[in-house]
Amino acid sequence: MVAGTLFPLALGPDPQLLAAIGPGVLWVSALLAILLSLQQPFVHDHGSGALEQLLVSPHPLPVLVGLKLAAHWLATCAPLILASPFLALQFGLSAQAVGVLALSLLLGTPTLALIGGLGAALTLGLRGGALLPLVVLPLYVPVLIFGSGAVAATASGLGAWPQLSLLGACLCLAILLCPWSASAALRVALE
């Protein structure tokens, strides 16, 4: 949120420039918020032994991992989604573009959190703090393009439904694949 607030102050009052870069800045801010907290879902539980307890739990591990990632999303991304309309107004976006921004963040940030959780599970035992962003950034690029593209299309008078549909498809794919893949990676990391 700090980056979204400082950009309009640093770039000056040019409304066309602010409206042109606003969607990208807000999406990159969301991406950075997730990147900064990528290791949180599993690293503390790994050190305390709670992950081993999840493995022996009678509940399915993919469901537990999915719930853990949903809680992580609520803690890191939900405040940004709630603040996004106010941040978007600083960039001079129209009311319709602000709504599309909030909807695109609502569809895109869970995808980023799920992909980040998969990356955190893959690099859990490696102490790979620098490795984790390198693993997940290529998978983040399509979500970033579709999310900022939806807002840019709305701001230019075009429809945002193609980009929003692709964000929804990415979210469905991430919901289907990431908890199971992260569960398998956690089993391997804890063996």
pLDDT digit of tens for each residue in the chain (191 aa)?
677 778 777 877 788 888 888 888 889 988 988 888 887 788 888 878 888 888 888 999 999 999 999 999 999 889 989 998 998 888 888 899 999 999 999 999 999 999 999 999 988 876 656 778 888 999 999 999 999 999 989 988 888 999 999 999 999 999 999 999 999 999 998 88
Look at residues 113, 23, 121 and name the one whose alpha carbon lies nearest to residue 70: 113
Examine residue 2 and state whether it is found in any structural domain, yes or no: no
- Counted domains in the chain: 1
Examine residue 84 and state whether it is found in any structural domain, yes or no: yes
Examine residue 5 and state whether it is found in any structural domain, yes or no: no
Examine residue 100 and state whether it is found in any structural domain, yes or no: yes
Per the CB < 8 A criterion, the answer to whether 178 and 69 are in contact is yes
Examine residue 10 and state whether it is found in any structural domain, yes or no: no
- Give the whole-angstrom CA distance, residue 162 versus residue 153: 10
- Give the whole-angstrom CA distance, residue 152 versus residue 133: 26
Quote the domain boundaries for residue 80.
15-189
Examine residue 143 and state whether it is found in any structural domain, yes or no: yes
Which class for 21: exposed (0-12), middle (13-18), buried (19 or more C-beta within 10 A)? middle
Examine residue 26 and state whether it is found in any structural domain, yes or no: yes
Examine residue 46 and state whether it is found in any structural domain, yes or no: yes
